[in-house]
Amino acid sequence: MYHCKQTGQFLHKDHLLKLTTSNYCNEAILNASGTIFAVCSGFGKCGVSVVRISGTQASLVLKKIGQMRKLPKPRTAVYRRLVNPDLKEPIDRGLVMWFPGPASFTGEDTVEFHVHGGPAVITALLTALGTIPDLRHAQPGEFTKRSFMNGKLDLTEVEGLADLIHAETESQRIQALRQLEGDLHHLYGDWRTRLLKCTANVNAYIDFSEDDNIEEDILDIVNREVQSLMNEIKAHLSDNRRGERLRDGVQVAILGKPNVGKSSLLNAITQRPAAIVSPVPGTTRDVVDISLNLGGYPVLLSDTAGLRETPDAVEQEGVRRAVSRAGKSDVQVIVLEAQIFASQQRSLKEIIHIHFQELGISLTQNNEETTEGADCSDKVVQGSDVVVVLNKCDLIELDTLQKPIEDIDGIRVCILSCLTGEGMEKFLNILTEKVKDMCGSPSAGSPSLTQVRHRTHLTQCLHHMVLYGERTRGGDIVLAAQSLRRALGELGRIMGHVTSEDILDVIFRDFCIGK
């Protein structure tokens, strides 16, 4: 595909051929041309580094630097002495590989040099490449952008590739790989094909319904198909943000009154002194964020300031930030001191509810519309998203406790000691289970929605399909057809069939140079 600056659209090669007489398309060809090079294996001292060259001059570069009269067998590693063609001086010995287009990652002629991964070797090779006319250093993500432009990957696959490179946990890797291998491409592609057929049928109905060449019930068939597509898209959208949570990490906030051991809990989970611990109430002021891998799932764990009324302006700001983080988090870990539980006659349920009231936290029933998108200041949490921790159990006689420690109203409750480590394993299992539940299994079932961008386009797509239904019922079939075309456009935008350069810049800038 080529970008057309004047229309802001991307054109397939076939389409472009029909338009080659116009100036802007020639300009589009120029935009996509040029031979680029970059290290694609990361920097730093290592055994082997890979330098990739893509574009029309790639074969010439291989012959010059690899000192070869003719090109090697495609996709076969050949051991060569590499030289600077200008200075005729050796650079290194390494493997060279030749990938003629279109059967290459970018779809263009591509060469790879696998050389020793030392900074001086890399610098010498890049310097030699820089002296060859018409070669230039690649921009971040430019190899992948070419792959997209040449129709090798659609935008969902490009995003899958970026996620795979950034994946830090096993579950993120599995989800990203599924996306790169085309799971979303097939799902959205299937919806697009079916919607395209609906649009074509409605247009045919508008154009030919007065002739008798068209099936009588064609509109009923289209309406049923549109309804079924809407149901599928709605089901895909109402996934509790599983894929997005897995991609971005589940946010877990540790909350509670001052001095109950919140920072101690963060340190115990991360097994390092990440936050300051002291017997002085109000020690933590700012939110302390730590990324961690919990059973293969990504988590962003936040320690917060103790919640209390205070005249201290700095502490007030800390409390405000804690409340805000509580509203944005997926899981709230609420810490109490176990002594309260041991010293009071009240039941655990009463103690928890009174404690929540004192913290200004109100609980909603499971599955009610809750914190998502709600104003953070209202501290509304859903029971199933809460874990209550009774900390400092080393200070009470556990054996003499008359009351059971059990889950209350969907809230998981555990008792532990950050000091001795007692109960920590059970708590971590509960937390991991919760995080897994929120993300689902990345390898099972239909592919998850992974990006806000997809959610926005699918929501718009649904909106246009609803409009289609209203307009058909109102008898305005021409406007209804327009709604279907718009719905189709939204699906096309997710996959990158029609998109603007701004969107592409946002997507490709996340890549490193060399990818």
Ligand X SMILES: Nc1nc2c(ncn2[C@@H]2O[C@H](COP(=O)(O)OP(=O)(O)OP(=O)(O)O)[C@@H](O)[C@H]2O)c(=O)[nH]1
Q: What residues line the site for ligand X (CB under 6 A)?
A: 256, 258-264, 277-279, 281-284, 305-306, 391-392, 394-395, 417-419
DSSP 266-312: HHHHHTS--S---SSTT---S-EEEEEEETTEEEEEEE-PPP---S-
Q: What are phi and psi of 228, to 5 degrees?
A: -70, -40
> Which segment (28-36, 191-199, 280-288, 363-371) binds Mg ion by CB under 5 A?
280-288
Tell me the C-alpha to C-alpha distance, in Å, between residue 208 and each of 205, 213, 216, 218, 483.
5, 7, 11, 12, 20
The item of ligand X, Mg ion, none sharing an interface with residue 418, based on CB under 5 to 8 Å by kind, is: ligand X
Binding partner selected for residue 90 from Mg ion, ligand X, none, CB under the kind-specific 5 to 8 Å limit: none
- Shortest distance, position 277 Cβ to Mg ion, whole Å: 7
Instruction: Please report how close the Cβ of residue 263 comes to Mg ion at its closest, in angstroms.
Output: 3
Element (H, E) at 181: none
* Distance of closest approach, residue 306 Cβ to ligand X, in angstroms: 3
User: Which uninterrupted H or E stretch holds 75?
Assistant: none
Quote the tokens at residue 487. Answer: 């719905």
Residue 515 is classified by DSSP as -
Nearest distance in Å: CB 393, ligand X: 7
Angle at the Cα of 306 from the Cα atoms of 304 and 308, rounded to 5 degrees = 140
User: Tokens 């109490």 correspond to what residue?
Assistant: 336
* Collapsed DSSP state (helix, strand, coil) of residue 47: strand
Number of residues that bind Mg ion (CB under 5 A): 4
Output 259 or 472, the one with its CB closest to Mg ion.
259
Nearer to ligand X by Cβ, of 262 and 355: the residue is: 262
Judged by CB, which is closer to ligand X: 128, or 253? 253
Closest to Mg ion by CB, 128 or 333: 333
Residue 411 has what DSSP assignment?
B
Quick check: 284 binds Mg ion (CB under 5 A)? Answer: yes
Query: Closest distance between ligand X and the C-beta of residue 420, in Å?
Result: 7
Cα of first residue to Cα of last residue in the chain, in angstroms, is 19
- Cβ 41 to ligand X shortest distance, Å: 43
Strands (DSSP E) contained in 85-196 are: 89-99, 110-117, 135-137
Question: Please, which of residues 244-263 interact with Mg ion by CB under 5 A?
Answer: 262-263
Residue closer to ligand X (CB basis): 32 or 287? 287
Q: Which does 258 bind (CB under 5 to 8 A by kind): Mg ion, ligand X, none?
A: ligand X
Q: How far, in Å, CA of 393 to CA of 423, rounded? A: 9
Structural contact between residues 361 and 334, judged by C-beta atoms closer than 8 angstroms: yes
Q: Which entry of ligand X, Mg ion, none binds 395, CB below 5 to 8 A by partner kind? A: ligand X
CB closest to ligand X, residue no: 306
CB of 322 to ligand X, least distance (A): 9
Strand 331-337 relative to strand 386-391, pairing: parallel
Place of tokens 């998502």: 372
Judged by beta carbon, residue 389 or residue 487, the one nearer ligand X is 389
Residue 74 in tokens: 């495609």
Q: Identify which of residues 136 and 308 has a Cβ nearer to ligand X in the complex.
A: 308
Q: Least distance to ligand X from the beta carbon of 392, Å?
A: 4
Q: Between 219 and 307, whose beta carbon lies closer to Mg ion?
A: 307
Q: Using CB under 5 A as the criterion, which residues of the chain lie in contact with Mg ion when the complex forms?
A: 262-263, 283-284
